[in-house]
Structure 1
């Protein structure tokens, strides 16, 4: 059985703040968000076309990634949709491209998806998370917990109607 909610975090733990996504998943696991089987946590270095298969059977998907300074301010959660114009031949895809691959392969719209972008500052090889990145993890975890509560609320309201 597939968990209805999927959180996909991407990042390289060996490249400083690029490890924000995997570090957030570690915190979520420690908090037990995947304990009841309604949430699956997935970590990878980068998104690839194969990740479209991970979306099959999901009710909602949250992508988590570090962002370069200037692209976001702190922690930003926003919906994302399939983008047919996104390049699909790369080894590293944006979430919009993964959603487009899903739509092509499954011949149906992808599940609703969001991107949680966490601002990083230092992406140097061999470095750990910086102080600012550690501070942003708390805000990111709060946003994920809120996102999960909203998805749980949607599940309840569907049963009632």
Structure 2
């Protein structure tokens, strides 16, 4: 059985993104009147009245800085919602934000895309399929409707 680690936006990265995001812009906090935004720092949906920010995030670039991978043209950045101030982070036994169809995008240790899968009901089985390929080092969980990055799952 393959073990894996769910990786939200880390607290140190969150602090940096609130100062200057991966597009070079400062965060603009706002109050989420309706709630429901998928927060990438704690991997839950925002509650009405929470202070959040929409920032630009480059998950492969940050992963490459840690691992030495060279994603080349696969390096992309996109919008993510985060808490506008400190966040307790995520910890939990269940896979987060699996309440809708998702896309799993598989990456090699070099940061190259190895494939993807549209996932409906059986998210754990799809994740197991992704990691059944020994070349897969990381899987990005993405929203279907906008293609946005939600979180990373790493082998090990």
Shorter-chain TM-score: what band?
Answer: under 0.3
Q: Which gives a bigger RCO, structure 1 or 2 (Cα 8 Å, sep 6+)?
A: 1
- Structure having the larger proportion of residues in strand: 2
- Structure having the larger proportion of residues in helix: 1
